[in-house]
């Protein structure tokens, strides 16, 4: 499999507080992420764990504090944001944002929202080509032409989500980064949009980075999953590895706590307490320690690195092993 995107050592630190409370918030804290051509990788974790920040770093919408990003072998991570925005890779990596209502210009009609994006990213096209491309994207996401002259406030939630997707795919991206694309929608609409996203990926051969706090959604559409906790990936593997034999106690707690009715009653662990602060984390200890049912003195002495428990399945826990994963499966 060819990697189209490769990020290594990505870090995003925000200075917070003042005077004696000054500190650094570790929003993304040393993440490696590889996306293969055509694959859908899910980023999952509780609110505030750094999913959106990681998505924005990879899309080059915000600058990283540290780390490298290559896209199809080209170093895009060391370009300035401005240079990246003007370069050819901008159209190849597109983002669908969480709240379509906030991300669509309220003063533009639906078709103009799509057409304007094409005009900005494909300046070589003439007006006729831009409109033809916008109309084709509209059709691809199942929006009837009659809706093209409507403004965002005249559209339903599902229709707005489709406009956001049409805008992103209209410039032929290879990688689509979807940040909770359905979390603002009703469950029934959510299912329809997820189906559409699955069809578009199959038809166009795009890769997805799919961000969601909803495990059931991730399980449904992703090939591979990365579980985040306090700015780090603490477990990653194929969707089957993560859901059938989770190796990290945090992942197990997330799965046990998910409202999937088939899993009710299986619950052996619950996630107690809240995450420790992302400000000035102690690099010498495991940052899941305070909530972990397995914590031991070792966890306060050494932060666990992400290590392979078996082929393609990595977890950052001193006590993660294929054995612990197997026990869960029994
Ligand atoms: N611009 C910012 N300034 C300071 N802190 C930020 C900023 N953006 C995000 N954060 C913090 O970074 C952490 C990760 O946020 P985010 O990436 O939005 O998480 P998620 O998408 O998983 O909910 C949170 O603690 C959040 O408060
Ligand atoms: Mg988010």
User: What pLDDT, on the 0 to 100 scale, is given for residue 115?
Assistant: 98
In this structure, of 86-90, 170-174, 225-229, 323-327, the range with the lowest mean pLDDT score is 323-327
Judge whether residue 329 has pLDDT over 80. Answer: no
Q: For residue 48, how far is its CA from the centre of ligand 2 (angstroms)?
A: 7
User: What pLDDT, on the 0 to 100 scale, is given for residue 327?
Assistant: 56
CB atoms within 10 A of CB 323: 10
Contact yes or no for 278/48 (Cβ under 8 A): yes
**247, two tokens:** 């190796």
User: What pLDDT, on the 0 to 100 scale, is given for residue 268?
Assistant: 42
Average pLDDT, integer, range 32-36: 98
Contact yes or no for 165/141 (Cβ under 8 A): yes
Q: For residue 112, how far is its CA from the centre of ligand 2 (angstroms)?
A: 27
Burial of 178 (C-beta count, 10 Å sphere; 0-12/13-18/19+): buried
How far is 313 from 238, CA to CA, in rounded Å?
7
Q: For residue 200, how far is its CA from the centre of ligand 1 (angstroms)?
A: 30
Judge whether residue 57 has pLDDT over 80. Answer: yes
User: What pLDDT, on the 0 to 100 scale, is given for residue 129?
Assistant: 98
Judge whether residue 259 has pLDDT over 60. Answer: yes
Residue whose entry in the numeric block shows the structure tokens 């603002």: 184
Q: Whose CA is nearest to atom 3 of ligand 1?
A: 14
The 3-state DSSP class for residue 251 equals: helix
Q: Is the CB of 157 under 6 A from ligand 1?
A: no
Average pLDDT, integer, range 91-108: 91
Top-confidence residue, 263 or 14: 14
Average pLDDT, integer, range 203-220: 95
In this structure, of 61-65, 116-120, 208-212, 291-295, the range with the lowest mean pLDDT score is 291-295
Q: In what order do the strands lie in the sheet with 66-71?
A: 23-36, 3-16, 66-71, 74-75
User: What pLDDT, on the 0 to 100 scale, is given for residue 275?
Assistant: 72
The 3-state DSSP class for residue 314 equals: strand
Q: For residue 97, how far is its CA from the centre of ligand 2 (angstroms)?
A: 9
**311, two tokens:** 């082929």
Judge whether residue 186 has pLDDT over 60. Answer: yes
Ligand 1 atom index nearest CA of 54: 17
Dihedrals phi, psi of 181, to nearest 5 degrees: -65, -20
Q: How confident is the model at residue 73 (pLDDT cuts 50, 70, 90)?
A: very high
Would you put residue 306 in left (φ > 0), alpha (ψ -120 to 50) or beta?
Answer: beta
User: What pLDDT, on the 0 to 100 scale, is given for residue 211?
Assistant: 97
Give the tens place of pLDDT for each residue, 219-230.
Answer: 999 999 999 999
The two beta strands, 175-179 and 207-212, are parallel
Contact yes or no for 32/17 (Cβ under 8 A): no
- Residues within 5 Å of ion ligand 2 by Cβ? 52
Q: Is the CB of 212 under 6 A from ligand 1?
A: no
Contacts of 99 (CB under 8 A, 6+ apart): 184
pTM, two decimal places: 0.93
Judge whether residue 264 has pLDDT over 50. Answer: no
CA 128 to the chain's CA centroid = 34
**303, two tokens:** 């932060």
The two beta strands, 175-179 and 93-96, are parallel
Judge whether residue 99 has pLDDT over 90. Answer: no
* Residue % of the chain over a pLDDT of 70: 92
Q: Whose CA is nearest to atom 11 of ligand 1?
A: 27
Q: How confident is the model at residue 184 (pLDDT cuts 50, 70, 90)?
A: confident
Helix (H) or strand (E) holding 163: helix 157-169
User: What pLDDT, on the 0 to 100 scale, is given for residue 265?
Assistant: 46
How far the first Cα of the chain sits from its last, in Å, is 32
Judge whether residue 119 has pLDDT over 50. Answer: yes
Average pLDDT, integer, range 283-312: 92
Q: For residue 50, how far is its CA from the centre of ligand 1 (angstroms)?
A: 6
Mean pLDDT of the chain: 91
Of the bound ligands, which one is closest to the alpha carbon of residue 54?
Answer: 1
Of the bound ligands, which one is closest to the alpha carbon of residue 48?
Answer: 1
User: What pLDDT, on the 0 to 100 scale, is given for residue 267?
Assistant: 41
């Amino acid at each position: 499999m060819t990697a189209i995107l490769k990020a290594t050592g990505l870090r995003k630190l925000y200075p917070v507080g003042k005077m004696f409370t000054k500190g650094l918030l570790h929003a993304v804290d040393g993440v490696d992420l590889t996306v293969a051509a055509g694959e859908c990788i899910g980023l999952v974790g509780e609110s505030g764990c750094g999913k959106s920040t990681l998505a924005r770093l990879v899309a080059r919408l915000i600058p990283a504090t540290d780390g490298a990003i290559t896209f199809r072998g080209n170093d895009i991570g060391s370009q300035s944001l401005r240079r990246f925005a003007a370069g050819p890779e901008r159209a190849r990596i597109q983002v669908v944002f969480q709240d379509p209502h906030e991300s669509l210009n309220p003063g533009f009609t639906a078709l103009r929202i799509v057409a304007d994006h094409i005009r900005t990213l494909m300046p070589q096209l003439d007006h006729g080509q831009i409109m033809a491309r916008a109309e084709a994207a509209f059709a691809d996401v199942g929006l009837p032409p009659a809706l093209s002259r409507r403004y965002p406030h005249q559209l339903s939630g599902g229709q707005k989500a489709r406009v956001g997707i049409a805008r992103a795919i209209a410039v032929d991206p290879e990688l689509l980064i979807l940040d909770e694309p359905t979390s603002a929608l009703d469950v029934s609409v959510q299912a329809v949009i997820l189906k559409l996203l699955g069809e578009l990926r199959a038809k166009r051969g795009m890769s997805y980075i799919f961000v969601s706090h909803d495990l059931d959604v991730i399980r449904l559409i992703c090939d591979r999953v990365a579980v985040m906790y306090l700015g780090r990936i603490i477990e990653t593997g194929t969707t089957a590895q993560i859901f059938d034999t989770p190796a990290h106690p945090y992942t197990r707690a997330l799965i046990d706590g998910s409202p999937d009715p088939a899993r009710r009653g299986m619950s052996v662990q619950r996630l107690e307490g809240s995450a420790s602060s992302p400000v000035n984390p102690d690099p010498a200890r495991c940052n899941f320690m305070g909530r972990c049912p397995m914590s031991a003195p070792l966890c306060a002495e050494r932060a666990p690195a992400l290590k392979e428990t078996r082929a393609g399945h990595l977890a950052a826990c001193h006590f993660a092993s294929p054995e612990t994963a197997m026990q869960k499966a029994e």
